[in-house]
Structure 1
Amino acid sequence: MVFNKSKLLNELGLILAIIVYIILNFGFQNFTPSNLNNFAVLLSTFFIFIIMLYCAFNIVRHADWLAEKFGEPYGTLILTLSVISIEVALIITMMFIGKGDPTLARDTMFAVIMIAINGFAGLSLLTGGLKHKQQLFNIEGASAYLAVLIPLITICLILPNYTKSTSEGTFSSAQSFLVIGVSIVLYVTFLIKQTITHKDYFKFSIEIEEEKPHDDEPAIKTFYHIIALVIGLIVMILLSKNLSLFLDFSIERVGLPSKLGGFLVALLVLAPEGVCAIQSAYRDQLQRSINLCMGSAVATICLTVPAVLIISQIMNQSLILGMENTSMVIMILTFLISMITFSAKKTNALYGMVLLSTFAIYFSMLFD
C-alpha cells in the first residue's frame, strides 16, 4: 500500500492527536491547569476536546470502512464497540485520575441515552422525514433494543435510589456483582440474537439490496484499517487523562455545572456515530441509523455499568448511579416516546421533532 499525501491528510486527526499528546506529556512540563489562568484553561480544554473529536471521527472512518467490509449487523457492532471503548476509558480516567466525581459515570450514561436517542435518533428521523416524507424500518430490531434498554436503565440508574442496604443512589457489593452479571448476560444474549439467530431483525429489505461490502479489496487494506483503528483508540485513551485534568479545572474554576463533564464525554464519543446515523437517514437507510443510535445506548448500559462497578470495587471508590428526580422524569418520558416512535411501521419528521424537543428540555436541565 502506497502512503501518499492524500492518505496522510486522511489520517490528520490521528496525527494531530499524537502530536498533542507528545507535547502535553513530554514537551511543556509546566503546561498544566494549575499554572494557567482561567481563560487559558478554558481555551486548552476546548482545544484538546476538538483534537480528540477530530481523532474520533478518524477512528469511526476506519470502523465505518470495516463495517461496510463485513456488512450488517457486524458493521454496526464494530462501530459501537469502538466508541464504547473510548467512553469507558474516558469515564474511568476522569473518575479515578481526575477529581474523582462519584456521579460522573451516571451523568455520562444518562447523557449517552439522551444524546443517542433524543438527540441523534431525533435528528435522523427529522432529516429522513424532511427528505423522504416517511421511512420504513424493521420493528423487530427496534423492539429488541428497547427490550434490553428499558429494564437495564431502570435497574442500573433508577433502582439504586430505592435500595436500603447502602446510602441513596448506590449498590452494595453483592448487588453490584449481581448487576454486573445481569448486564453482561443480557448483552451476550442480545449479541447472539443480533449476529446469529435473528440477524434479519436488524436489517431492512431495501437496504440489504443496496449493501456493497468491500469484498474485492486486498487483505492488506483491511489490515491497514484495523491497525489504524487500534492505534486511534490507544491515542484517545492516552489523551483522556489530559482532557480530564483540564476539564476538571474548567468546571471547578469557572463554576460550570458538574453534569457538563458527563455530557461532553458522551458527546465526544457519540458525535462520529451520530453523524453517520444522520447521513444514513438522509440516504433513506433508517435501519442503520436506528442500529447506530440504539446500539450505542444498549452497549453503553450493558458494558459501561459493569466496567465502572468492577473498577470501583477494586479501588474502593464511591460510585453513585441513582439519577436525580428530574432526570428520572426525563428518562421515563424518553421511554414512552421511544415505545410509541419505534412501534410504528412508518416514521416521519414529527417523531424526530418530539425526540429533539425532549433533548432540548434535558439540555436545559443541565444548568438548573
Structure 2
Amino acid sequence: MAKKIFMILTFAGVPLSVIGTLMHWSSTLLFIIYCVTIVALASYMGRATESLAIVTGPRIGGLLNATFGNAVELIISIFALKAGLVGVVLASLTGSVLGNLLLVAGLSFFVGGLKFKRQHFNVHDARHNSALLIFAVIVAFVIPEVFAMDMNDSKTLSLSVGISVILIALYLAALFFKLVTHRGVYQSKAEGGAGHHDEEPEWGKGKAMAILLAATVAVAYVAENLVHTFEEVGESFGWSELFIGIIIVAIVGNAAEHASAVIMAYKNKMDIAVEIAVGSTLQVAMFVAPVLVLISLLFEKSMPLVFSMPEMVSMVVAVLLAISIANDGETNWFEGLTLLGAYVIMGIGFYLL
C-alpha cells in the first residue's frame, strides 16, 4: 500500500513540480509540492539502497543509504549557498546531526523495541563511531566557534578551510579502516550469520543503481526550486531561517534515511539501522559540511564552519546522549523514546527562537 502511495506521489509530484515552476504558482503551494515530491523520491532511493544492502551487507548497505540520503541534502545546500542562504545551510547541517542521532535513531529504537524486547548491534562499531562523533562534532565544530571569538572573518574562514580538509581526509581514512584494513575484524554475529543473505532483494543491482541515479537527478531539479520558496514561506508561517534549516530542510533532505532505518529496525536488522543513523551523522559532520565550506568559496558569500550557540550546544548534547545510549551495543523502546523526547524539546526551542 505504502509503495503504491509513494509511486503515485512521485509520478504526480515531478510533473506538478515542473508545471508549477513554469507557471509561477504560489510559493506556499510549490513548497508543499516540492517537499512531498522529494520525500516520495527519497522512498525510491531508500528501497534501492535496501536492495543493495541485501547484496553487499550491512556496512556497505548502510553507507550507501547514508550517502545517497545525504546527497539530497547536499544538493539542497549547494543551491542554498548559491542563493546566499548561509544561515539555512548551517542550520540544515545542525538539523541533520540532531535528526539522525535523535529522530532517526530514536524512531528506529522505539519501533524496533515495540516488536523485540532487546535489540543488539555491533558494539565495536558503536564504540568506534562514538570516538569519531566526539572528534567530528565536539572537537572540529567547537574549536572554530571558540577561536572565531578572537579572529576576523578572513582568519575564521581560513581556519574553517583547514579544519574541513582535515575532516575530509580523516573521513576517507575511517572508510578505508572499516572497509579495507579492518573489514571483518570486528564482525558481529548478525553480520557473520547467513540470515540476511537468504533474503531476496526487491531489485537487481543494475536496476537499483539506475533508480538511485534517476531519483538523485530528479531531486536535484526539485531541490533547486525548493530553495527559492524558503523566504516567502518563512514569512507566511512565521518560521525563522533557523527553524526552516534545522527542522524542515533536515527532515525533507534525510527522508530516505529516516524511512530505511526504521524499516531495518522493525525487521531486527539493527546493524544496518545504526549504521544508517550514526554513519549518516558522521558523513554529514566529516564530509558534507567540509565539502560545503570548500564549495562556498566559489560563491559570493563564503560559509565558515561556525554555528550559533544554540546549534552548537544542541549538537553536543545529542552526541553525548546518543553515545551513552548506544555504547553498550543493545537498545530498547524506552531508550528510543528518550532520544525522541530530546529531539522534540530541541525542536520547540528552535521554533520559539
TM-score of the superposed pair, with normalisation by structure 1: 0.85
Question: How far apart in 2 are the matches of 1:8 and 1:53?
Answer: 14
Deviations 1:62-89 (A, max 9, x none): 2221222222321112111111121111
Structure 2 residue identity aligned to 1:88:
L
Question: How far apart in 2 are the matches of 1:327 and 1:89?
Answer: 22
Structure 1 residue identity aligned to 2:195:
E
Task: Confirm or deny: 8 A CA contact 1:105 1:321 kept in the other structure.
Answer: no
Query: Cα offset for 1:112?
Result: 0.7
Aligned: 1:86 with 2:72: yes
User: How do residues 204-219 of structure 1 correspond to structure 2 at under 5 angstroms?
Assistant: 204-207=188-191, 208-212=193-197
Question: How far apart in 1 are the matches of 2:292 and 2:241?
Answer: 18
Deviations 1:226-284 (A, max 9, x none): 12211110110111121111222101343212122212221112222122211222222
Aligned counterpart, 2:277: 293
Deviations 1:189-222 (A, max 9, x none): 111122122333775313532122789999xx43
Question: How far apart in 2 are the matches of 1:198 and 1:12?
Answer: 43
User: Relative to structure 1, is the Cα distance of residues 331 and 69 closer, same or farther in structure 2, using a 3 angstrom cutoff?
Assistant: same
Question: How far apart in 2 are the matches of 1:216 and 1:352?
Answer: 28
Deviates more, 1:197-206 or 1:47-56: 197-206
Aligned counterpart, 2:11: 15
Structure with higher Rg: it is 1
Question: How far apart in 1 are the matches of 2:107 and 2:16?
Answer: 32
Aligned: 1:310 with 2:310: no
Task: Confirm or deny: 8 A CA contact 1:141 1:201 kept in the other structure.
Answer: no
Question: How far apart in 1 are the matches of 2:226 and 2:11?
Answer: 17
Any idea what SS the aligned residue of 1:103 has?
Answer: helix
Aligned counterpart, 1:130: 114
Task: Confirm or deny: 8 A CA contact 1:156 1:322 kept in the other structure.
Answer: no
Aligned counterpart, 2:333: 349
Structure 2 residue identity aligned to 1:19:
P
Aligned counterpart, 1:174: 158
Task: Confirm or deny: 8 A CA contact 2:144 2:159 kept in the other structure.
Answer: no
Q: Higher relative contact order at CA 8 Å, sep ≥6: structure 1 or structure 2?
A: 2
Query: Cα offset for 1:9?
Result: 8.8
Task: Confirm or deny: 8 A CA contact 1:126 1:352 kept in the other structure.
Answer: yes
Deviates more, 1:9-18 or 1:236-245: 9-18
Aligned counterpart, 1:111: 95
Aligned equivalent of 1:68, options 54, 57, 66: 54
Question: How far apart in 1 are the matches of 2:59 and 2:268?
Answer: 17
Aligned counterpart, 2:234: 251
Aligned counterpart, 2:262: 278
Structure 1 residue identity aligned to 2:332:
N
User: Relative to structure 1, is the Cα distance of residues 62 and 158 closer, same or farther in structure 2, using a 3 angstrom cutoff?
Assistant: same
Question: How far apart in 1 are the matches of 2:316 and 2:151?
Answer: 25
Any idea what SS the aligned residue of 2:328 has?
Answer: coil
Structure 1 residue identity aligned to 2:79:
T
User: Relative to structure 1, is the Cα distance of residues 252 and 187 closer, same or farther in structure 2, using a 3 angstrom cutoff?
Assistant: same
Task: Confirm or deny: 8 A CA contact 2:103 2:340 kept in the other structure.
Answer: yes
Aligned counterpart, 2:167: 183
Question: How far apart in 2 are the matches of 1:217 and 1:51?
Answer: 22
Aligned counterpart, 1:261: 244
Aligned counterpart, 2:33: 47
Aligned counterpart, 1:231: 214
Task: Confirm or deny: 8 A CA contact 1:67 1:75 kept in the other structure.
Answer: yes
Deviations 1:149-182 (A, max 9, x none): 2211134432222222224xx8634323311221
User: Relative to structure 1, is the Cα distance of residues 255 and 10 closer, same or farther in structure 2, using a 3 angstrom cutoff?
Assistant: closer
Query: Cα offset for 1:321?
Result: 3.5
Task: Confirm or deny: 8 A CA contact 2:113 2:332 kept in the other structure.
Answer: yes
Any idea what SS the aligned residue of 1:317 has?
Answer: coil
Aligned identity (percent) is: 20
Deviations 1:26-52 (A, max 9, x none): x42xx15xxx4xxxx323211221111
Task: Confirm or deny: 8 A CA contact 1:95 1:102 kept in the other structure.
Answer: yes
Query: Cα offset for 1:320?
Result: 4.8
Any idea what SS the aligned residue of 2:297 has?
Answer: helix
Count residues in correspondence: 346
Deviations 1:78-122 (A, max 9, x none): 11111112111101112213xx22222221111111111111101
User: Relative to structure 1, is the Cα distance of residues 203 and 17 closer, same or farther in structure 2, using a 3 angstrom cutoff?
Assistant: farther
Task: Confirm or deny: 8 A CA contact 1:203 1:287 kept in the other structure.
Answer: no
Aligned counterpart, 1:199: 183
Gaps of 5+ in 2: none
User: Relative to structure 1, is the Cα distance of residues 215 and 134 closer, same or farther in structure 2, using a 3 angstrom cutoff?
Assistant: closer
- When the two chains are superposed, the root-mean-square deviation of aligned CA atoms in Å is 2.6
Deviates more, 1:316-325 or 1:340-349: 316-325
Question: How far apart in 2 are the matches of 1:103 and 1:217?
Answer: 40
Aligned: 1:139 with 2:123: yes
Gaps of 5+ in 1: 1-6
TM-score of the superposed pair, with normalisation by structure 2: 0.88
Query: Cα offset for 1:8?
Result: 10
Question: How far apart in 2 are the matches of 1:216 and 1:75?
Answer: 12
